[in-house]
Structure 1
Amino acid sequence: MGFVDLFCAASMPVLKVLIVTALGSFLALDSIDILGPSTRKQVNNLVFYVFNPALVSSKLASTLTYESFKSLWFMPVNILLTFIIGSGLGWALIVIAKPPQHLKGLIIGTCAAGNLGNLLLILIPAVCKEKGTPFGDPNVCYDYGIAYASLSTAIGAVFLWSYVFNLVRVFSDHSQHSGHNVVTRIEESETRAEDLTQSLLPSSTTSVNTKIKVKVILGKMKQHLGNFSRQVNLKAVFAPSTLGAIVGFIIGTIAPIRRLLIGTTAPFRVIQDSASLVGDAAIPTVALILGGNLLRGLKGSGISLPLVFGIVAVRYVFLPLCGILIVKGALYLGLVHADPLYLFVLLLQFAMPPAMNIGTMTQLFGSGESECSVIMLWAYGFASISLTLWSTFFMWIVG
């Protein structure tokens, strides 16, 4: 298969995303104001709570089975590696650039968390419809591609809201004060516990000494775990998309439930069809919101462009190169099956732009909002070139 054919097959899906994104930016202009800030917020809530969960659950339920899930076990490992490697590269960038304290969580988060959900759900179906791809029948490619992208969405959401959410929180100004107070309270309680231990310890009874020390250690551990559980937002971990994935997984892998809902002869297939109908609205809606949100980056902020370009280099140069080594190594060791589409999705997970939900996190904590908008503007601007080139190269590798 020639380079020109692969390049055309890779560029068309990216161009489709750019066109819909540009439309979203146009609708969000002050002179148009169809997709203004308040409207975007309401539509984003609709996508977050309704469209995305319906899309993820319906596509996973229809394409995922227990047998197929066993062959996809490497995807969570692959996504975890993108977060680990991205975090390491982001920390190295912080050491070099020395940004303000409140931006450190944002920088590590944008380097670690790629757009593993919505953008894949747009790109993969579009890639399957193009001629000249190495993925075979377009309909089969579409069904399995949506399943791979849906699973990526669910896993990525868990890592994003459990790791990056708390990372941004910790490095925000408010969280710095909260974290300091928590540490201070822990240290004070430890000091009081040690003083109490010293006052109660009989000098002549070793067994009593040991029992009291064990009780004090257990008390400290319980206190640390309690403080940790209060600090980590477990509700955010179980985002609607994650719950939708759980529902889809249960329906798809449990045969009696699957027979009730999935298939042309299923008695309750109308439920699955309705969920699929609602979920399909997520793909264009997300692209429109993305375009509207990127307008905020045009206003600029105090973040330096070298730092922004450092994040772009991490996401579009170093991470994809690491991804090639990891996926090819996993294929060589027999950890993944030689399905071109599956390998393509695994590789693409290393080359995605930063997750848009990071902007939501900065809004929530009131720290780094304008800087995040600038990062997203440049990152998604370069994504049109980067995704096309890397997609072409990835297709050549897997084909």
Structure 2
Amino acid sequence: MGFWELLVVASAPVVQVMLVGLVGALLATGSRAVLSADAINHMNKVVYIVFTPALMFACLVSTVTLEDIITWWFMPVNIGLTFLIGGVLGWLVVKILRPEPHLRGLVIAACSAANLGNLMVIITPAICSESPSPFGETAACHSRALSYSSLSMALGNFYVWTHTYSLMKNSGKIHKKMIEDGDLKDEFQKKKEDLEAMLLTPSTSYAAIESSQTLLPEDDAPRNFFEKAKISAMSFAELILSPPNAGTIMGFIFGATPWLKSLFVGAAAPLQSVYDAIDLMGNATIPSITLILGGNLAKGIRKSRLNISTIIAVMIVKLIILPSAGLFVTHAAFKLGLLPQDPLFRYTLLLQYTIPAAMGIGTMAELFDVAREECSVLLLWNYLLASVALTLWATVYLWFLS
């Protein structure tokens, strides 16, 4: 596959996102805007409660088996490493450039969370359509690529709706406190605990929410270990049982259990119509999120409080440093015998470091009413530059695997 063919494959899903986002922007402008602030808010809640869980469940039930989960055990580890490395780099950007307190979670989220959903499902199987296919016979390659990308989408969304969700939720609390108390910039700069509140793993994020209790009146803070443990457990349960994560967990259970899978998938499945209805709702996830992104961008592109240096730093992390780290991690894992021999599996792992930021960040920004405009601007620049970056890195990856 030549450079221009790779450019077309890498650009196609990005162009789709841009076009749907443009429709959202047009719907949000003018005196008779269809996507008003209230409409975006209600639409976002439907995406969070209905569409995203349906997408996760339908995808996992139809494509993933227990054997796949066991054989491809390194994939969740690899996705976790993308979040860890991206989170560390995002934290360094926050430390160096010091954006406003309520924007720090967004910066870390944009550096760590990738869109492992629709882009992976489009880009990974597309490489198999070339003649000759770089990864073996076309039909078998396409089937494996679809399975890899489907599992990647499910696992990626689980990380997004735990790690990234906790970051954005904490940012929402900080933003609300800033609105109540006025400009707290100086106070926040004095609090090292707040800077650490947006660290790198879900567990530290939960601890960060506890440490941010210093922002609350002293009387409202828990006074003993058991009260703190209770609050932490409730926060963790709320995180795990959020609608997207509930859909993912149920999808894994039904997909990995043959007799449960047969209820929904197959010619003789008694609940085939139920599965079709869930799949239909899940298909609305990506267009809805993208319309919301375009609407927020049209309303707030001039209100963004992110400076240009922060935007450039995030782009460097996402488009240059993180993919370079992915090459090292994947090569080391292969040399240590941790990966299957299939080069397409390694190619999928490498792409996970290269995909632009997760669209779900915009859903969370809207959900917690924090950094909506800044999120739209970051995602816009990331996706505009992603087509060229994806093409260049895909070329490097194919050479590296040859």
Q: TM-score, normalised by structure 2?
A: 0.77
Highest CA radius of gyration, 1 or 2?
1
Distance 2:129 2:280 in 1: 20
**1:258-316 per-position Cα deviation (integer Å, ceiling 9, x unaligned):** 33332223344333334334433434444444433433453242321011110111111
Structure 1 pair 371/291, CA: closer, same or farther in 2 (3 Å)? closer
Query: Relative to structure 1, is the Cα distance of residues 3 and 126 closer, same or farther in structure 2, using a 3 angstrom cutoff?
Result: closer
Structure 2 CA distance for partners of 1:143 and 1:293, relative to 1, 3 Å: farther
Instruction: Give the CA deviation at 1:29.
Output: 3.3
1:319 maps to what in 2? 322
Q: Map 1:126-275 onto structure 2 (within 5 A).
A: 134-135=134-135, 140=140, 143-171=143-171, 172-174=174-176, 179-180=213-214, 184=218, 189=223, 221-230=225-234, 232=235, 234-275=237-278
* Cα shift at 1:51: 3.1
| Cα distance in 1, alignment partners of residues 96 and 309 from structure 2 | 11
Letter in 1 for 2:106: L
Which structure 2 residue ranges, 5 or more long, are not aligned? 178-193, 195-210
Q: Residue in 2 aligned with 1:295?
A: 298
Task: Give per-residue Cα distances to partners, 1:298-354, cap 9 Å, x unaligned.
Answer: 324232101111011111111111011111221222212133443233212212222
Task: Tell me by how many angstroms 1:89 deviates.
Answer: 0.9
Tell me how far apart the structure 2 counterparts of residues 278 and 188 of structure 1 sit (CA, whole Å): 41
8 Å CA contact 1:295, 1:377 repeated in 2: no
C-alpha displacement of 1:141: 5.0
Closer/same/farther in 2, CA of residues 228 and 60 from structure 1, 3 Å limit: closer
Aligned CA-pair RMSD: 3.3
| Alignment-mate amino acid for residue 233 of structure 2 | S
Question: What TM-score do you get using the length of structure 1 for normalisation?
Answer: 0.78
Distance 1:378 1:10, change over 3 A: closer
**Cα separation, partners in 2 of 1:124 and 1:240, compared to 1, 3 Å:** farther
Identity of aligned residues (%): 38
Deviates more, 1:304-313 or 1:142-151: 142-151
In structure 1, the gaps of 5 or more residues are 190-219
CA distance in 2, matches of 1:188, 1:276: 44
1:240 Cα deviation (Å)? 2.6
Q: Deviations for 1:236-257, whole angstroms, at most 9, x for unmatched residues?
A: 4333332222222222221222
Secondary structure (helix, strand or coil) at the match of 2:357 reads: coil
Counterpart CA distance in 2 for 1:288 and 1:337 is: 39
Q: Counterpart amino acid of 2:88?
A: G
- What's the CA shift for 1:66? 1.4
Q: Give me the whole-angstrom Cα distance separating, in 1, the residues matched to 2:353 and 2:126.
A: 19
Q: 1:32 to 1:128 in 2, by over 3 A?
A: farther
Partner of 1:57 in structure 2?
57
Q: Which amino acid aligns with 1:229?
A: A
SS class of match (2:318): helix
Q: 1:368 to 1:48 in 2, by over 3 A?
A: closer
* CA distance in structure 2 between the partners assigned to 1:108 and 1:141 by the alignment: 35
Contact 2:289-2:363 within 8 A present in 1 as well? no
SS of the residue corresponding to residue 62 of structure 2 reads helix
